[in-house]
Amino acid sequence: MQTSYSTSQTYIDEFNPLDYFQTYYATGQGVFLGEWTNFVLQNMQETFGPGGVKGDILIDFGAGPTIYHLLSACEVFNNIITSDFLEQNRKQLEKWLRKDPDAFDWTHVIKCVCELEGNRNNWEKKEETLRRKVTKVLKCDALAKKPFDPEPMPEADCLISCLCLEAACKDLEVFTNTLIKFKELLKPGGHIILQGVLNCTFYYVGNKCFSSLYLTKDGLEKAFKEAGYEVVKLKVLPCSEKSVMDISDFESYYYVHACKPQKE
Ligand SMILES: C[S@@+](CC[C@H](N)C(=O)[O-])C[C@H]1O[C@@H](n2cnc3c(N)ncnc32)[C@H](O)[C@@H]1O
């Protein structure tokens, strides 16, 4: 399906976080519960588990209204700065952080992560750890020259981002330029973990359709190379859940772990 590029204004006007929860993450019906969350949560556990990446500051770029991707990282970073472009998404993040009774209930996903980490009874402690470690919820804009302007940003040990750049970037050139801008947010040798979907042109949130950058594995590798990163690991998993095709037409999931070189 051809969908015209969803601009920043389209996101402001049409992206409803409650519909996003219902479509993708709600118990019993969320399209992403299953293959996507299993893929991401397993990768995060391997990345941030024993002997893995750790540090002081983690930047989470384009979280939307979600926190699932932070559940392993929160054990090994002191400060997590999360962010999204949209105020309506940041409000949902803040609701969850302050335990608002209206906040989305992530318990089912948190329990999965505890199970993966081999400590299934730990979920309430993990929730507390994540709430304590998130020190800021900032506005970010992948398309701005400095994505966090005017907020002064510390150099981070790691930046993670899930399903954001395919939404924000209209072509591979903008995607590559955004990766270049991310390097300025990282310490020398700092890590970047990017996860998302390949060969996707659209996704629905409720009854609103948004465009996606049609990213291929070759395009992804080219972008990281041109942006000057050292790729540590790249994984692609074909999607086998064809039942989701009317909600989104992605064909596979990807994970990239790369590093900013020590010297440029
Ligand atoms: C498909 S959602 C992904 C949300 C979440 N990271 C997840 O894994 O479910 C796409 C996200 O991209 C964000 N976005 C759209 N335009 C953006 C921009 N210019 N800069 C940063 N984020 C943007 C939207 O606000 C939305 O949260």
**100: CATH:** 3.40.50.150
Residue 40 buriedness (CB in 10 A; 0-12 / 13-18 / 19+): buried
Residue at 2 is within a domain: no
Give the Å distance between the CA of 162 and the centre of ligand 1.
8
3 part of a folded domain: no
User: What is the pLDDT at residue 1?
Assistant: 65
Instruction: Please check whether residue 193 lies inside any domain of the structure.
Output: yes
pLDDT of residue 264: 79
Point out the ligand 1 atom lying closest to the alpha carbon of residue 69.
8
Helix-helix angle 107-116:35-48, to 10 degrees: 50
The SS3 assignment for 82 reads: strand
Residue 17 CB–ligand 1 contact under 6 Å: no
Kind of pairing, strands 252-259 and 186-198?
antiparallel
Q: Which of 13, 48, 22, 7 is nearest to 204 (CA)?
A: 22
Please state, in angstroms and as integers, the Cα–Cα distance from residue 63 to each residue in 91, 159, 164, 202, following that order.
Answer: 12, 12, 8, 19
Name the closest-CA residue to atom 8, ligand 1: 162
The answer to whether position 17 is within a domain reads yes
Please tell me if the CB atom of residue 10 comes closer than 6 angstroms to any atom of ligand 1.
no
Question: Measured in angstroms, how far is the CA atom of residue 11 from the centroid of ligand 1?
Answer: 9
* DSSP H stretches of helix in 195-239: 217-226
143 lines ligand 1 (CB under 6 A): yes
Query: Which domain does 247 fall in, by range?
Result: 8-259
**Main-chain dihedrals φ then ψ at residue 254, nearest 5 degrees:** -125, 155
- The answer to whether residue 264 sits within a structural domain is no
E strands, the chain, in order: 55-60, 77-84, 134-139, 156-162, 186-198, 202-205, 208-211, 230-238, 252-259
Measured distance CA(139)–CA(191) in Å, rounded: 21
- Count of other CB atoms within 10 angstroms of residue 110: 19
Counted domains in the chain: 1
pTM of the model: 0.97
Centre of ligand 1 from the C-alpha of residue 89, in Å? 9
In the sheet where 156-162 sits, what is the strand order? Answer: 134-139, 77-84, 55-60, 156-162, 186-198, 252-259, 230-238
pLDDT values of the chain reduced to their tens digit, one per residue, 264 residues: 668 999 999 999 999 999 999 999 999 889 999 999 999 999 999 999 999 999 999 999 999 999 999 999 999 999 999 999 999 999 999 999 999 999 999 999 999 999 999 988 899 999 999 999 999 999 999 999 999 999 999 999 999 999 999 999 999 999 999 999 999 999 999 999 999 999 999 999 999 999 999 999 999 999 999 999 999 999 999 998 766 779 999 999 999 999 999 987
In ligand 1, which atom is closest to the CA atom of 203? 1
Ligand 1 atom 16: residue of nearest CA:
168
Quote the ligand 1 centre to 155 CA distance (angstroms). Answer: 22
Q: Kindly report the protein residue whose alpha carbon is nearest to atom 27 of ligand 1.
A: 64
19 within ligand 1 shell (Cβ under 6 A)? no
Closest C-alpha residue for ligand 1 atom 1: 163
Angle between helix 217-226 and helix 172-183 axes, rounded to 10 deg: 40
Residues 6 or more apart from 64 whose CB is under 8 A from it? 17, 20, 84, 86, 89, 163, 164
Is residue 238, in this structure, part of any structural domain at all?
A: yes
pLDDT at 188: 98
Burial zone of 87 (CB within 10 Å; 0-12 exposed, 13-18 middle, 19+ buried): exposed
What pLDDT, on the 0 to 100 scale, is given for residue 120? 82
Give phi and psi for 224, each to the nearest 5. -65, -40
